Structures are given as C-alpha cells and as structure tokens.
Amino acid sequence: MKTKKAIAVLLAVVILAIPFAVVSSAAPGIVTAPVKTQYTDCEFFNPQGLVISDGENEIAYSPVDTDFSFSPALNEYLKVETNAEGEDKPTTFVEVYYKNEYVGSVEIEISHVLGEVTSFSEAGHGQYCLGCGKVHNYAEHEIDEYIPNDDGGLIIQQTETGTCKVCGEKVTRSIPGSETFLSIFGGEMTNFEVEIITYFYMIAVTLIQALAGIR
C-alpha cells in the first residue's frame, strides 16, 4: 500500500514538473518587432518597441539596458545589401543579442538616398547616393537636337553641340565626312572612288600631323 502511494506521489510530482521544464527550456526569440522597420542608408537601427524573450521572461528594450546588443551595431549606418548579380536587396536583417546570446533577427527594409542628377563629362549622367556614395541610375545623355558649330576645315571635321534635357550637360561631337576636302570633288562617287579619296586623305592628314610635330 505504501508502495502504491509512493508511486502516486512520484507521478504527481513528475506531472507538475513537466510544465515548468517546458517553460524553462523555451527558446529565446523576438516577441514584438521594433516600431520602425523602414530605413535609408543614412540612418542607424532604432530598436525602440522591441520585446524579446530570453527563454524565461519577456524583456522590453531600453537604451539603458546594456545587456542588449545588435549587429550591425546601433552606431553603424545601415547598408543596402546586394545579391550575387550586384542587384540591391532592400530587405535585410538585424541580429539581436541579449547578454551576448543570440535571440533572433529583425527584418527591415533599407533604401538609398539619392542626390540630384549629376553629369559625368560627356559620357552620361547619374545620381550619387548620399549614404553609400555609389552612382545609381546611370544613363547616357538625352539630346533631342544638335546644332552645327561651323568649325570644320579642309581636313578637320565640323562639330555639332547638343544639350542634355535631363542634366543640362552640353555634348559636342564630330560630324563624319564633314571635311571640306571631300566636297571638293562634288557629284556622286562610287564606293571605290570614295575609298581612294579617303586613302589619300588619310595620307595627307598623317603628313600634316608629322610636319606639325617637327619644330
């Protein structure tokens, strides 16, 4: 009889102990995400509103609680991550630690802060990111009309200039075949005749450049 009572008491103790064991072995994690989840790469992570569980208790973040730590740290600017192809990944994660133990990760979105459209010489234009400093949205200049400069010569091609309607950069280019040397002969010429004239033209240009270099 005593044995049965002892077994019954033991079972009761085991049954009562199981819930406590489950609670005490609960995995740490994020209970409530921070209020702010969208950032630019000119900002720091803000954990205000974050609530975690250390496996036993729920703990709200406080700036004075030095047991909290993050990766990236709170004094590091957030960065826009890229994939294997170099494309931006707006969604990233901030790792949360409590007493140097990993608790979980907070999902956030990070975007670039782009400055004004800037010209890069006559090649094209784009925008610098005020955070990472890289060039984004690079594109060639958009020019609707080129105006001749009437600056051609016997063996010098005439140029023409246009203004980019996006960034205002003035772009100057040469007009092929605009040398007056080729217009001396007038009339229509066969492709073979054009090749012959162009050949002698190139010889003349080479000789003039060589003579100009002799002083």
What's the average model confidence in pLDDT over 8-19?
Answer: 50
Pair 165, 207: CB distance under 8 Å: no
What's the average model confidence in pLDDT over 44-48?
Answer: 97
Q: Residue for token digits 């989840």?
A: 37
Q: Which amino acid is at 198?
A: T
Q: How confident is the model at residue 14 (pLDDT cuts 50, 70, 90)?
A: very low
Adjacent-strand bridge partners of 136: 127
pLDDT at 180 over 90: no
Tell me the CA distances in angstroms from 1 to 6, 166, 179, one per residue in order. 9, 96, 121
Q: How confident is the model at residue 183 (pLDDT cuts 50, 70, 90)?
A: low
Give the CA-trace dihedral at 135, 140, 142, 146, to 10 degrees: 130
Q: Which two tokens stand for residue 5?
A: 């009572």
pLDDT on residue 20:
46
Q: Which two tokens stand for residue 164?
A: 């980019």
pLDDT on residue 32:
96
Pair 88, 80: CB distance under 8 Å: yes
pLDDT per position as a tens digit, 104-146: 999 999 999 999 999 988 889 999 999 989 999 999 999 999 9
Q: Which two tokens stand for residue 18?
A: 């199981």
In angstroms, rounded to a whole number, what is the distance separating the alpha carbons of residues 168 and 22? Answer: 68
Q: How confident is the model at residue 23 (pLDDT cuts 50, 70, 90)?
A: very low
Closest alpha carbon to 162 in 148, 176, 178, 150: 148
Pair 151, 159: CB distance under 8 Å: yes
In angstroms, rounded to a whole number, what is the distance separating the alpha carbons of residues 124 and 141? Answer: 5
pLDDT on residue 190:
64
Q: What rounded mean pLDDT belongs to the chain? A: 83
- Least confident piece of the model among 33-42, 94-103, 104-113, 130-139: 130-139
